[in-house]
């Protein structure tokens, strides 16, 4: 199937434009409209006529979730087009958005969808305070938030021994000075015990010498304890875009 979509950018919870491809997840600010920019390319199958070709986005129930985005000019073969920036409505829970081109009928309804469809997951994030880990280039590779969410550019693994192999790792040690966990320069989290599960009901029993992230009310939201076990009350995102 032909892919007319070239680029989708969504303003994330940090206020930055984040490029999103099919299958990606973007964390957005809870309760605020979501800014989107889309560009398409005409693959040479004919003219994309401004009078009947539109960009649409639907949710998992097939309902259109924003006013159809029309073009202000015909797009000739092998020509690109940038839609005017537009907003999706605010969300308070995870939402899958399916972007695709369509042809409208004489009454303005949908006659037929065409081209590839991109499925992008929008997840609400209210972590206003974050511990941000940055790589050697200065870009974010991971963060731990005060609402209990973690985003890793890499993955989370549990190993019998976590020994950092690069000098830019953030290392968690026990009371004896022994490494029990780390976030490396690729944004991967290594743990020496427990698992990588998330959405724990609470993190109230970290034990002595634990590394703890608390919210503004002093409630534990994340910890890594002296054994290298992780607890978090929010969502753990792997292969994400922190």
Residue 21's domain is classified under what CATH number? Answer: 2.60.40.10
Can you give the pLDDT at residue 227?
97
> Are 106 and 141 within one domain?
no
136 and 211 share one domain? yes
Q: Tokens 């490396």 map to which residue? A: 184
Is residue 230 one of the residues assigned to a domain?
yes
Q: Domain check: are 73 and 86 in the same one?
A: yes
Is the pLDDT assigned to residue 64 strictly greater than 80?
Answer: no
- Lowest-confidence region among 72-76, 88-92, 203-207, 224-228: 88-92
pLDDT in tens, 160-191: 999 998 889 999 999 999 999 999 999 999 99
242 part of a folded domain: no
Task: Tell me whether residue 77 is in a domain.
Answer: yes
Q: 188 and 141, same structural domain?
A: yes
Yes or no: say if 156 and 144 are a contact pair by the CB < 8 Å rule. no
Query: Are residues 38 and 97 both part of a single domain?
Result: yes
Tell me: do 94 and 164 sit in the same domain: no
- Single out the residue in 95, 125, 155 at which a domain terminates: 125
How many distinct structural domains can be found in the chain?
2
| Same domain flag for 54 and 81 | yes
Is residue 126 scored above 80 in pLDDT? no
Average pLDDT over residues 65-80: 87
pLDDT at 60 (0 to 100): 83
Looking at 125, 153, 169, the residue that finishes a domain is 125
**Within-domain flag for 67:** yes
Decide which of 104, 125, 146 is a domain's last residue: 125
- pLDDT of 29 reads 82
Domain that holds residue 17: 5-125
Q: Are residues 91 and 34 in the same domain?
A: yes
Does one domain contain both 148 and 161?
A: yes
Q: Give the CA distances from residue 70 to residues 102, 111, 145, 198, 224, in Å, rounded to whole numbers and listed in that order.
A: 10, 15, 38, 41, 50
């Amino acid at each position: 199937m032909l892919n007319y979509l070239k680029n989708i950018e969504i303003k994330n919870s940090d206020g930055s434009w984040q490029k999103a491809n099919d299958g990606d997840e973007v964390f957005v600010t809870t309760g605020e409209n979501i800014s989107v920019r889309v560009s398409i390319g005409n693959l040479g199958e004919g003219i994309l006529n401004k009078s009947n070709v539109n960009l649409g986005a639907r949710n998992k129930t097939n309902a259109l979730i924003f006013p159809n985005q029309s073009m202000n000019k015909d797009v000739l073969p092998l020509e690109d087009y940038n839609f005017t920036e537009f907003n999706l409505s605010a969300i308070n829970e995870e939402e899958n958005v399916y972007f695709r081109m369509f042809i409208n009928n004489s009454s303005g309804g949908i006659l037929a969808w065409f081209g590839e469809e991109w499925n992008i997951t929008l997840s609400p994030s209210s972590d206003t305070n974050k511990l941000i880990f940055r790589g050697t280039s200065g870009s974010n590779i991971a963060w731990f938030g005060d609402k209990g969410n973690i985003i890793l550019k890499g993955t989370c693994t549990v190993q019998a021994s976590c020994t950092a192999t690069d000098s830019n790792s953030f290392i968690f040690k026990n009371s004896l000075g022994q490494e029990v966990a780390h976030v490396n320069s690729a944004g991967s989290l290594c743990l020496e015990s427990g698992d990588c599960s998330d959405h724990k009901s609470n993190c109230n029993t970290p034990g002595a010498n634990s590394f703890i992230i608390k919210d503004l009310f002093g409630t534990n939201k994340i910890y890594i304890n002296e054994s290298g076990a992780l607890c978090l009350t929010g969502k753990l995102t792997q292969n994400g875009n922190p």
